[in-house]
Structure 1
């Protein structure tokens, strides 16, 4: 496994702090086909940055008959838990990642299927009966829960659909009902793959970028806490660690002045097409400005431009997901990077 550390400047806003000054990233991946025996993936061109993820596929039906298939894009599951707020690009929309797809250059209109669960039980009918949106975040769900009859609210609390949350909204302490259910969303559409022809499918969305308000694996002058887990997950090497030590040494408090951003891309859900491999695979990570630090795992990664690094492979079988760690200076020069 090639270990690569990049220095980057990414135009990111500081993430808001929650109970533990951390926001969880939502792992998101690519497309899934209902047919795997006839349609092969000739190529996949994957681009990841904190601002956007784009994926360009070329599928080919190598048989002598047209193939009709369902193509699906599973959105990440989200939990309506006020104590574990995930990073959601659009907190008011069912399409909370801004997902878009084209087929041979023409915009497609996928259908959205949503299901809500509490304790593993489908509670979609309960929510719809009270005109409560299945999407747990946003003003619409908050307003609908405030109108629940008391008997319904008590029943939902007992069944784990909602919980009571007491907080000061500026006018005094108030108790409100907040969602505690899980939402599962999938965009899907029917597609025809003509016999012995290629079909180009492209999709894009804004990634869920997790964050922590400081470097969670370095404090009191040493690497500790989640250090081992981070080193394994993000392939952190000596270059990155030296940059963190230097930033801590240059700070009067001995603290490296960075905050974390994290992006997770689920690559291992792929492989459900003919042969299970990708003919030509390309991954591009956009690094941005050199003052930020970026670490991720990859093989034969090379620099292809001022802000981009690329990994390519042939007959590629996706065995591991892609996890990207970004350390963004909170002020000053943040060190010189690696």
Structure 2
């Protein structure tokens, strides 16, 4: 019951279209490792595993140049809006948000666990755009306002209650500065509302030796957004949001029939069937920061339960087990990011 109540909370971190159509909770999309664009280090292979509970990635790199390449490998989370956390539910609990390593990120190089640093910046995100690509949340997340908060003595915390209390104790000129910078909202009789977002970045220095291969593994617990999901029996009863989902997640005729079969029961009559959905995204185009295409690419998806319905836009998908699907490609240059829809029936 507690989980169902959580699902019924509407989170502003979801795209507004999602919140309008289905009550939901917010979460984080996932991305690969970032590295400065270079002309030497090639990704020979990538083995990607996606599930609602875990993301695992194994990447094999080769420096094809004559000299070692050294730089910072970065794994950023997308911006986490404090304004949204004020108003809504989230895929991560308050306890998880309070931790430095919010998604249990770990990495290893050539089979050896390595120390990973993390830092945070604060940004003021741009206005919502319905067609903004997933990768934009990483490439252009917004205006960096970290220095302003530091100057005012405000920590880069995800504890909204704590941050609001600190803002309330600031002298009036500091409050006016936050208001003028559109970094906080103030309402009579209510705590201040921080309006910035926090980006957590994991990173470590990495040397790519000339002419040699290295293997980097990383994994973490994803926090996909989701919520209550409904689907009508008849095609004519699809609403604009459901039609948008068909385009976004390539929900074909077979999958639509599966949704009707899975979500409807005898007592529902002609009413829309109801379940829950997770929207698991992965920003695959970050692989293009490496030199050339991915030599061999393997994607494994585990939808979690044999009864769940999975839909995504990618060709060459093979079912390999009751819950698993595999896609394999060679000389692969991603042109679009992965967006997975996983639908479950509500427990009766």
- Give the TM-score category using the shorter length: 0.7 to 0.9
User: What residue is the counterpart of 1:270 in the other structure?
Assistant: 287
Q: Unmatched 5+ residue regions in structure 1?
A: 1-11, 167-173, 333-338
Secondary structure of the residue aligned to 1:175 is coil
SS at match of 1:306: coil
Question: 3-state SS of the aligned residue for 2:259?
Answer: helix
Could you tell me which residue of structure 1 aligns to residue 16 of structure 2?
none
Contact 1:26–1:210 (CA under 8 A) maintained in structure 2:
yes
The answer (yes or no) to whether the contact 2:259–2:309 under 8 Å persists in 1 is no
- Bigger shift: 139-148 or 179-188? 139-148
Aligned to 2:325: 309
Offset, 1:106: 2.1
Give 2:309's aligned residue.
293
Which of 191, 214, 222 is equivalent to 1:176? 191
Equivalent residue number for residue 153 of structure 2: 131
> Does residue 145 in structure 1 map to residue 167 in structure 2?
yes
Once the two structures are superposed, the pairs formed by residues 68-217 of structure 1 within 5 Å of their partners are 68-81=70-83, 82-83=86-87, 87-88=91-92, 90-118=96-124, 121-138=143-160, 140-164=162-186, 175-215=190-230
**Which of 319-328 and 80-89 deviates more?**
80-89
TM-score, length basis structure 2:
0.80
> Residue 316 of structure 1: CA displacement?
0.8
- Count of equivalent residues: 312
Q: State the distance in 1 between where 2:180 and 2:69 align.
A: 48
Q: Which has the higher strand share?
A: 1
C-alpha offsets along residues 225-255 of structure 1, whole Å, 9 cap, x if unaligned?
A: 2122211221112222123334336343623
In 2, the alpha carbon distance for the partners of 1:135 and 1:69 equals 28
Q: C-alpha distance in 1, partners of 2:336/2:300?
A: 16
Give the direction of change, closer, same or farther, for the CA distance of 1:312–1:92 in structure 2 (3 Å limit). Answer: same
Instruction: Quote the residue 1:16 is aligned against.
Output: 7
Q: CA deviation at 1:83?
A: 4.4
Normalized against structure 1, the TM-score is what?
0.82
